[in-house]
């Protein structure tokens, strides 16, 4: 366990240095999912290593201002839940894998950087009542990675100029056209950071992420209805809380209504006592 956490801290240091589908309930091709498929087709030329490098840099921007929670047990627990969810997503593997961590911030929020780095705040964790709700929050963020929403947030003209660039620092030293490409690459980082921290990925992307999260939760053995119970609490919190996730996402009441339509015909699973106890054991 300690070795895993040490490995994650190493990844964090690098970031700072640099970044069975149930068709009855879920129609196979909603409008949001069709749009996601079109966007994924449009970003096929972006390699996974490039996506990883970009995501590492974006995550570094977040970590530069918001530190990690200094609780190895909690970090390991969230990482284990996240990995369980990611393995059952539509994109179970990414270049160098998924990484999950908790940020020391009371602001309710979560960030999905390109390539698989997912950060969730203590503030959002405190809103979760059990492991299923935590899994629901993480499954939504994993869906953003699976749909490549971070890459989609970059201006096409900007990314086209840097997709082949590999050495930003060296490019700056060489000058000329290479220096221009390095500047554009930094612009791409700004595009993604602005999306996850200020503007959000957009309503269609958020709704598509909710839809995929429900499927992922079912495959992973979690209760899909947990997403609805989490959103219900978020609706109430949104009445007084305007920071974080409420600033970058569509109105939570609209998200909840759509999720309820998706799960209304599902039979909720009985939550396992062991999962509830694991959650209670954490110092959140």
Please state the three-class secondary structure of the chain as a single string.
CHHHHHHHHHHHHHHHHCCCCCCCCCCCCCHHHHHHHHHHHHCCCCCHHHHHHHHHHHHHHHHHHCCECCCHHHHHHHHHHHHHHHHCCCCCCCCCCCEEEEECCCCCCEEEECCCEEEEEHHHHHHCCCHHHHHHHHHHHHHHHHCCHHHHCCCHHHHHCCCCCCCHHHHHHHCHHHHHHHHHHHHHHHHHHHHHHHHCCCHHHHHHHHHHHHHHHHHHCCCCHHHHHHHHHHHHHHCCCCCCHHHHCCCHHHHHHHHHHHHCCCCCCCCCHHHHHHHHCCCC
Average per-residue pLDDT in the chain?
Answer: 81
* 99 phi, psi to nearest 5 deg: -135, 130
Q: Which residue has the higher pLDDT, 50 or 184?
A: 50
Give the model confidence (pLDDT) of 58-99 as tens digits: 999 999 999 999 999 999 999 999 999 999 999 999 999 999
Mean pLDDT over 168-190 rounds to 58
User: Which pLDDT does position 24 carry in this prediction?
Assistant: 38
Give the model confidence (pLDDT) of 188-230 as tens digits: 888 888 888 888 888 999 999 999 999 999 999 999 999 999 9
Mean pLDDT over 35-54 rounds to 69
> What's the distance, Cα to Cα, between the start and end of the chain in Å?
19
Mean pLDDT comparison of 11-25, 76-90, 200-214, 258-272, highest-scoring range: 76-90
- In the chain, pLDDT over 90 holds for what percent of residues? 54
pTM: 0.77
User: Which pLDDT does position 7 carry in this prediction?
Assistant: 47
Classify burial at 92, counting beta carbons within 10 Å of its beta carbon; exposed 0-12, middle 13-18, buried 19 or more. Answer: middle
- Distance (Å, whole) CA 216 – CA 139: 7
Q: Nearest-CA neighbor of 225 among 267, 257, 254, 275?
A: 267
Strand 110-113's sheet: what is its strand order? 99-103, 117-121, 110-113
pLDDT at 180 over 80: no
Domain positions in the chain are: 2-280
User: Which pLDDT does position 274 carry in this prediction?
Assistant: 85
- How many CA within 13 A on the CB side of residue 154? 29
């Amino acid at each position: 366990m300690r070795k895993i956490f040490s490995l994650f801290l190493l990844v964090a240091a690098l970031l700072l240095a640099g970044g069975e589908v149930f068709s009855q309930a879920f129609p196979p091709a909603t409008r949001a999912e069709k749009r996601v498929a079109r966007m994924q087709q449009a970003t096929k030329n972006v390699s996974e290593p490039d996506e990883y490098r970009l995501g590492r840099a974006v995550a570094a921007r977040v970590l530069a201002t918001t530190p990690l929670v200094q609780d190895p047990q909690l970090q390991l627990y969230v990482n284990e839940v996240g990995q369980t969810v990611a393995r059952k997503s539509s994109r179970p593997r990414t270049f160098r894998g998924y990484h999950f961590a908790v940020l020391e911030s009371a602001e309710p929020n979560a960030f999905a950087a390109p390539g698989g780095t997912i950060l969730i705040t203590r503030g959002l964790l405190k809103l979760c009542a059990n492991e299923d709700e935590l899994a629901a929050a993480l499954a939504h963020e994993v869906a953003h990675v699976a749909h490549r929403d971070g890459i989609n947030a970059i201006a096409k003209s900007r990314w086209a100029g840097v997709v082949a660039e590999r050495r930003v620092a060296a490019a700056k030293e060489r000058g000329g056209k290479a220096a221009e490409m390095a500047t554009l690459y930094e612009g791409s980082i700004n595009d993604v950071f602005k999306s996850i921290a200020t503007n959000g990925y957009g309503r269609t992307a958020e709704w598509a992420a909710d839809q995929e999260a429900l499927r992922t939760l079912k495959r992973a053995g979690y209760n899909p209805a947990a997403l609805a119970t989490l959103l219900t609490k978020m609706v109430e919190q949104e009445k007084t809380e305007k920071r974080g996730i409420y600033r970058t996402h569509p109105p939570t009441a609209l998200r909840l209504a759509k999720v309820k339509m998706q799960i209304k015909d599902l039979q909720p699973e009985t939550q396992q006592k062991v999962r509830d106890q694991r959650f209670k054991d954490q110092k959140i």
